[in-house]
Structure 1
Amino acid sequence: MTADGEIDATNGKALGRFVERHTGISTQLILDLSNVEFFGSQGFRALYYVDVHCARSDVDWALVGSPAVRRLLEILDPNVEFPLVEDLAAAQSRLNCLARCHRLVMGRG
């Protein structure tokens, strides 16, 4: 999923709900925010909502963040709890690795 422009109080909640509605049949998600120009605190809340939803739904995810997203996460997520990666290739690599791990754990590897 891709979002661009601004994520703020007017649309942060909608982003979280959109992700929730569209991850029903998937076990993986790449949230590409690499073109987000402004990322406010409601954007952070949306990411927290996405993180909780994905954990509850067994959806592995990766986040590609723009400089604006990264800047806010440096402040509000200093322990790097969100699965932030550099680019789409790194996101895909992360999810491929997680899928392999899941197969090994399930004995299908």
Structure 2
Amino acid sequence: MQPAGTIRMYRHAPSFSGDMQRCGRAMFAARRSTSARTTVSVLGEIDAVNSRVMARYVEAHTGVSRQLLLDLRAVDFFGGHGFTALYYISVHCARSDVDWVIIGAPPVRRLLDICDADGELPLVDDLVSALVRLDRCAQCRRHVVPVG
């Protein structure tokens, strides 16, 4: 009898070369930064029209990644539905064991100051901080020794 265990199921790896999607007044683009890291960049406005699409776009592009860099520096407007999308992404990343960070423009930061006052979401100041944080997470994963 074979021992029972958990098997991680991956979706088909999406094409990352120029993979873009437009919805409402926003555009989403994904690319593989490294073999384990995906960067999703958002341009424009995130509101009730496209927040779910953004969350699903991110979910679809983290299927084979261990890390996600969500770049919201080019976001001009970030409504309350955007926070819901970030929460959805957070839950998805936690369930999928994906480390992630958010680089936010002023509209994103303003909303997170109100809706995420305790700083539960992984918001960082700039790209350098994001990369340092993700590298630190990757280093911690390498040092974890399975028990049992």
TM range (shorter): over 0.9
Q: CA deviation at 1:106?
A: 3.2
Larger Rg: 2
Aligned to 1:15: 54
Aligned to 1:69: 108
Q: TM-score, normalised by structure 2?
A: 0.71
- Alpha-carbon distance between aligned partners in 1 of 2:61 and 2:111, rounded to the nearest angstrom: 25
Runs of at least 4 residues off by over 4 Å = none
Q: 1:12-55: CA deviations, max 9, x gaps?
A: 00000001111000000000001101000110000000000000
Q: Give aligned-pair identity as a percent.
A: 56
- Alpha-carbon distance between aligned partners in 2 of 1:8 and 1:100, rounded to the nearest angstrom: 36
Aligned to 2:63: 24
Question: For 1:49, what is the secondary structure of its paired residue?
Answer: helix
Aligned to 1:33: 72
Q: TM-score, normalised by structure 1?
A: 0.96
Q: 1:71-102: CA deviations, max 9, x gaps?
A: 00000000000000011111111000000011
Letter of the structure 1 residue corresponding to residue 72 of structure 2: L
Select the structure that is richer in strand.
2
- Listed as ranges, the gaps of 5+ residues in structure 2 are 1-39
Compute the RMSD of aligned alpha carbons. 0.9
- Listed as ranges, the gaps of 5+ residues in structure 1 are none
